[in-house]
Amino acid sequence: MDPALLITILSATGYSWLRMLAALVISILFSISIGITAAVSKTLEKVIIPILDILQSIPVLGFFPIALYAFITLHPTIGPEMAAIFLIFTSQVWNISFGVYEAVRVIPTETLEVANFLRLSIFSKIRHLYIPASFPKIAANLPSSWANGLYFLVACEIITIGEAEYRLLGVGSLTAEFMASGMVLESIVALFFVLLFVVLMNLLVFIPMIRISVKYRFETYATEIPHAWFEKLVKPLTLPIKIIAYKPRFSESWRLGAELHSFTNLIMKHRRIIEVLTASTVVVILASIISIEDLINFSQIVFNGFSRLGILEPLTMLGYSLSRVFIATLITLGWTIPVSIILYEKKTIEKMLLPIFQVIASFPATLLIPFVMDFTIKLGLMKEFGALIIVLLGTMWYMLFSLRGALSVIPREEEELFKLLRISGLKKLWYLYLPRMTPSMITGCIVTIGGGWNTLVIAERTSLDHILWEVENPGIGKMMSIATTLGDIELLIATTVWMALFIVILNRLIWRRIYEIAIRRIV
């Protein structure tokens, strides 16, 4: 192979990783601010959580118009890069946000009572309680967030709406070009570099952060996560992550002056006035940016899209898509619950399997779509079967890492009590594991189903240059893909709104109610 081509593949992988890292850092900062706010404020929770439900249910393709008009029009060079980072952000952020929200919600009541007794300010609670409590969930969700970003990497680096197309140098766009051109060897080399970078990312970043997160558990003493043999080889290289995670954490050596504490207390004292002023400022800014004519034009676009779709057709598409997501979720629960318990109880197995799972989860499944297509066609299977495989590849890791994170923070005292009473088997599953896993399981279902709807856009219909994958039956993701290919903004907005409303109603009526019951049982 030409050395220049190898350098191109390596540099493309580097560009993709920089975009992914930028989006991940933004996702963590966004999740900490939004997740903690929703968890501690009952008023804002009623606003933030429904909005998160809506946003996480919108596929990456649904954000294409925003990326096109809000970022790409700013600058011909910087604009597409900002658009790609924004699109990757929309695929990474939601499960981290829900993880932070869940972690703060399940802080033990006695811990909150101590914080209130000590009259800690809201800033001190955030610094010393809420963020440390969120750290295990953030660390546990990083591999699946990274995996989801890689899943949509091709779509984020090749932004296409109708005739408008913007290609960025990256491993996603380059691999898609190789596959479409029939360059098998080059495709394999690109996949090898992706796999290599994924392994290094897990060894140098994700696994060290998961290990550090053990120190933030609410228990008297923590259980150390077993170390895999190959971690010793890269231990010196993980020092920067450990320094970042230990030192800047809200350490006692870094204290704010009394003036800032007074300012924080002043804000909390007059927060109602500040909330009104902030809301008024936002309204004024939006009014200055968006004209009445823009609102009328947008309303006309939405009305035309809904008129063209009608009612029966989108309901039929949603029914088919829901069945695909529902089957994928059942299969995911069927294997992730027992596997997560086995990983928790059998540390030797965890040493062997966990790194493998993290590498597989972080691998961009969209790059495997041509192989899934070929596998399905050669076996004479329906494309529905291939679509189910693609949905599973893009969603099942959410649940596995969410459940594993829930089990890893079980208080050691509870585990010792069950050993002392010689409770094991199904009784231990029913009285210890399931109650402790339920909040994370429900959150995992919400995120898995939301991610499932996102992956339908690719699973039901995918177009990579001259390669076209399309399921036989209707689907809301299939319609969104067609609308994006045709550049039909009216149809794209209408199908996105239908999907978002349907998922929000599903979450509000079912999952959120079950989640509140589970939280009350634990806290």
Distance spanning both ends of the chain, measured CA to CA: 60
Q: Which residues contact 59 (CB under 8 A, 6 or more apart)?
A: 453, 454, 456, 457, 477, 480, 496, 499
3-state helix, strand, coil in the chain (%, to 5): 80, 5, 15
Evaluate whether 256 touches 123 at the Cβ level (below 8 Å).
Answer: yes
Neighbour count for residue 115 (Cβ, 10 Å): 16
If residue 209 lies in a helix (H) or strand (E), which one and from where to where?
helix 207-213
Those residues with Cβ within 8 angstroms of residue 295's Cβ, 6 or more apart along the chain or in another chain: none
Q: What is the rounded (10 degree) CA torsion for 355, 193, 137, 84?
A: -170
Q: Amino acid letter at 255?
A: R
Q: What is the pLDDT of residue 254?
A: 37
Tokens at 293, concatenated? 């004519």
Q: How far apart are CA 104 and CA 97, in angstroms?
A: 11
DSSP-based three-state secondary structure for 284: helix
Give the CA-trace dihedral at 289, 37, 66, 399, to 10 degrees: -170
Which one-letter amino acid corresponds to residue 254?
W
- Cα gap 329→342, rounded to integer Å: 20
Digit-coded pLDDT (tens) for 72-84: 666 667 888 888 8
Task: For residue 464, list its beta bridge partners.
Answer: 467
- Between the alpha carbon of residue 382 and those of residues 153, 455, 474, the distances in Å are 26, 18, 14
Nearest CA to 523 out of 250, 133, 31, 220 is that of: 133
Residue ranges in the chain modelled with pLDDT below 70: 1, 61, 64-66, 68-70, 72-76, 161-164, 217-276, 278-279, 282-291, 294, 362-367, 464-467, 511-512, 515-516, 518-523
Residue 158 pairs with which residues in a beta bridge? 167
Pairing of the two strands 164-167 and 158-161:
antiparallel
The answer to whether 109 and 523 have CB atoms below 8 angstroms apart is yes
* pLDDT tens, position by position, 415-441: 888 888 888 888 888 888 888 888 778
Pairing between β-strand 164-167 and β-strand 461-464 as defined by DSSP bridges: unpaired
Write out the CATH class of domain 3-255+290-522.
mainly alpha
pTM of the full predicted structure? 0.70
Tokens 């207390």 correspond to what residue?
265
Cβ–Cβ under 8 Å, residues 492 and 62: yes
Residue 317 phi/psi, 5-degree rounding, is: -60, -40
* Nearest alpha-carbon partner for 452 in 373, 363, 365, 347: 365
Nearest 5°: phi and psi at 108? -55, 140
